[in-house]
Amino acid sequence: MSAELSDIKRWRFLQEEKKPHPRSMERMERHWNLGILDDLNRNILPTKRNARFIVFVDSAHTFKISIQRI
């Protein structure tokens, strides 16, 4: 699954806001920069080259499928 980084960030922050005890905006920014971004860069993005297909989600939650050639 893939999406624009700005959309992923917005969705993650919205998800946090819905929690009973959400992190402050400052703590969430820190969590995003030091935790989530690092995880995306080290574990998620490198796997795209091995994917047979990628589902892209845009900001309106429209899905597009890209099939990779083998």
Pairing status of strand 63-67 against strand 2-3 = unpaired
Distances (CA, A) of 43 to 23, 35, 36, 57: 24, 12, 10, 19
Task: Say if residue 70's pLDDT is above 80.
Answer: no
pLDDT per residue over 6-46, tens digit each?
999 999 999 999 999 999 999 999 999 999 999 999 998 88
Please state, in angstroms and rounded to a whole number, the distance separating the CA atoms of residues 33 and 41: 11
Q: Does the model's pTM come out above 0.85?
A: no
pLDDT bucket at 1, cuts 50 / 70 / 90: confident
Task: Say if residue 69's pLDDT is above 80.
Answer: no
Domain residues of the chain, as ranges? Answer: 2-67
